[in-house]
A and B are shown apart, each in its own frame.
Chain A
Amino acid sequence: MKQAIQILTLVLVAVVIATVWDGFYILREDKQAVITQFGAPVGEPVTTAGLKLKVPFIQRIRYFEKRTLIWDGDPNQIATNDKTFIFMDNTARWRISNALLFLQAVGNEMSAQTLLDDIINGAVRDLVNQNDLIEIIRSSDWDKEYSFARSRDADMIKAPEKGRDKISALVLKQASQNTREYGIELIDVMFKRVNYIQSVREKVYSRMISERKRIAAEKRSRGEGRKAEILGKVERELKEITSEAKRQATEIRGEADAEATRLYGESYSRYADFYFFQKSLESYRNILGQNTSLILSPDSELLHYLESTEDR
């Protein structure tokens, strides 16, 4: 009897030890787990955190990341529909949505990165090849208020048909369809960087330079034009001012002369004879000077009394 109790106690203790030793596991908030038994997975993946039970020693726990992960692809040269070669550096957010599938189909994160490289790069390449460059650059919320519409190209002055954001959404959709079977959920695909390849960039620079030169020349000629306009205005106003002034002056003088003449005429014409008499005397005073030789007739009234004392 005692033997039995002792054996039972021993067994109990052994069970307790085993349970304490390998029958619990703690699943952290940021991890999820798949239980494997002799190498084969058992049951559904465990995703809620906490203290969990398992069969000691027989069952093993494989831990997987529960958090959002980043996939960063290498920059790739891709051609757009209008034959422009661009470098794209894309990145995506993903998570392990089904740890069981992930374990079976992928195994670990390194393999997942490679897998995603193929899937996502493929989807990006497909969609970029189908679209023009302007669709990759501009988004669907493009507004012409952000544009000066200087270009004469038709495609530059209207909104893109799809736009960058819609295209990356399409990439996401296409790639997601392929990742589901691997237990991977793609959250988004972002076109992080889009740039020209070297040779295209050179061409774009030339274009930008010549455009700027054109603007510079335009500005200069506008300046010249404005200057000529102002100088012309100066000439015109100058002439206007001086001619107007002269006109006024002449008018004023004329009016004054007319008035003076009127006054004179008014006054003198009443006693015209006397006026002429007086005026002539004045003239003599002024005209007959030091160099004059004067000839008088003896009949002159001045000399009248020289010959006679009688009254005239």
Chain B
Amino acid sequence: MPMNEHSPWGKKKKPGTPEDFLAALIQKIRDAFNEEKNEGPPPQKGEGPDPAHFLAGIGKIALIVLAIICFQIIYSSFYTIEPGEQGVVLRFGKYHRTTEPGLRFKLPYIEEMEKVDVKTVRKEEFGFRTRIPGQNSSFNKDGFDKESLMLTGDKNVIDVAWIVQYTVNDPVRFLFKVRNVRQEVRDNSETVIRRIVGNMDFDYVLGNRAVLAGMAKQELQQDLDKLESGVHLGTLQLLDITPTDAVKPAFNEVNEADQDMKRLVNEAEEYYNKVIPKARGAAKQIVEEAHGYAVQRINNAKGETTRFNAIVAEYLKAKDVTRRRMYLETMQEILPRVKRLYVMDNEEQPVLPFLNLSDDGQTRQTRGSASAETNEYRSPLNNRRIQ
């Protein structure tokens, strides 16, 4: 008893359980009754020491209880919310308020608090699992066929791996509307992706990843909102989209054929580019040569005719003299060069002697006037008279 009067606060060893409390109370009541019986009921006394005793006893117990309660208040009614968390407080089980980061207070016994991480980005993987997360994460795709294989709109089979990242944006909904939010996210993700892939042909999926990802993200967010899951989708990221292993070689063959096709066309075009410009060049050259020839020819003609006209002009001034002069000059030039010169009068000689032309390498009989087969020339001056 004296201990109580010193400090009603901060007691450590007290009967804090309700059973003990009840036992103490019953004991006090018994004591109160026993005291009363021993002393006998004095009906005249309005306030005796018994009620006072009784009340004092109750009072002491009450003080003990109060001390326990106060201690527990201090211990359990302060809590901290880290940055990135939020606290959801229920009063008598009913949602009362959401608390922000910091040191917070809640009523003991009456209020209950649950922390929710609202900042961490939660990730779900589909079609694979990260083996060793970290800087150089490696992926394990084996055994996740059930997650990654799906049917396309043209009844083909395709392999899709993707991830979904989300955060909690409504902690109350997150806690109290859906029991297993993580599983909800997974189920809905798979359903949405498969539904959209089911609308698209195989080749369309391979070539339009962005469309698929965009549509899936939008639809998934709508579904999750309808379910009141309290999460917000950060990203839906498609990873590998490939044909299954059994079919991959055939797909690679198509790519190779595509390469071949392009290669053949390139080769042909290369050949074209090699041959045609060269031919054009050659063609130009031919034409230029012709032009050259033309110019030359005409210039020659012009030159010669001018020369001729000049000579004629002079000739006309003294015709006869010029003719003879020219003739004699020519003869002067020719005759010294000639190998053999014969002067013969063909009318005086009835028989033409044999001309040995063997030193020319040919033996020929000649008769009559000059034969056309030999290197002989009849002077045309013989047969014509020049005016």
Contact = CB atoms under 8 A, between A and B. Distances in A.
Contact of B247 (A17, A66, A143, A209): A209
A292 B335 CA distance: 10
A61 to B, nearest CB: 12
A118 interface: no
B41 interface: yes
B279 A293 contact: no
Interface string A158-199: 000000110000000000000000000001001111111000
A97 B327 CA distance: 141
A26 B92 contact: yes
B179 A67 contact: yes
B39 interface: no
B338 A142 contact: no
Contacts of A2: 36, 41
Contacts of A212: 247, 250-251, 253-254
Contacts of B387: 273
B271 A280 contact: no
A92 B335 CA distance: 128
Nearest to B387: A273
A223 B345 contact: no
Interface stretch (A37-45, A120-128, A242-250): A242-250
Contacts, number: 367
Nearest to A248: B287
B12 interface: no
B204 A253 contact: no
Given A50-B92, A230-B265, A93 B191 contact: no
A166 B287 CA distance: 77
B190 A293 contact: no
Given A267-B309, A300-B381, A70 B184 contact: yes
A54 interface: no
B195 A139 contact: yes
Contacts of B151: 137, 194-196
B271 A231 contact: yes
Contact of B156 (A67, A89, A204, A237): A204
A239 B183 CA distance: 74
B339 A260 contact: no
Interface stretch (B67-75, B116-124, B161-169, B298-306): B298-306
A12 interface: no
A146 B282 CA distance: 53
Range, interface on chain B: 35 or more
A74 interface: no
B290 A253 contact: yes
A220 B5 CA distance: 103
Nearest to B343: A296
Nearest to A2: B41
Contact of B333 (A134, A238, A285): A285
Nearest to B284: A245
Contact of B260 (A220, A274, A293): A220
Nearest to B18: A21
Contacts of A233: 272
Contacts of A290: 337, 339
Interface in A126-156: 133-134, 137-139, 141-143, 146-148, 150-151, 156
Interface in B217-258: 227-228, 243-244, 246-247, 249-251, 253-254, 256-258
B321 interface: no
Interface in B4-33: 18, 22, 25, 29, 33
A288 interface: yes
Given A28-B93, A67-B178, A195-B150, A267 B339 contact: no
B209 interface: no
**Residue among B112, B187, B188 having the largest count of chain A Cβ atoms under 10 Å:** B187
Contacts of B301: 259-261, 263-264
14 contacts: A28-B90, A50-B94, A146-B204, A192-B194, A205-B157, A209-B249, A220-B261, A252-B290, A263-B305, A292-B339, A296-B342, A296-B344, A299-B345, A302-B331
Interface of A: 1-2, 6, 10, 13, 17, 21, 26-31, 48-51, 65-70, 72, 75, 89, 91, 93, 133-134, 137-139, 141-143, 146-148, 150-151, 156, 164-165, 187, 190-196, 201, 204-205, 208-209, 212-213, 215-217, 219-220, 222-224, 226-231, 233-234, 237-238, 241-242, 244-246, 248-253, 255-257, 259-261, 263-264, 266-268, 270-271, 273-275, 277-278, 280-281, 284-285, 287-303
When A and B form their complex, which 10 residue pairs have the shortest distance between CB atoms, in order from nearest? A223-B261, A256-B294, A245-B283, A249-B290, A51-B92, A216-B257, A260-B301, A230-B268, A267-B305, A212-B250
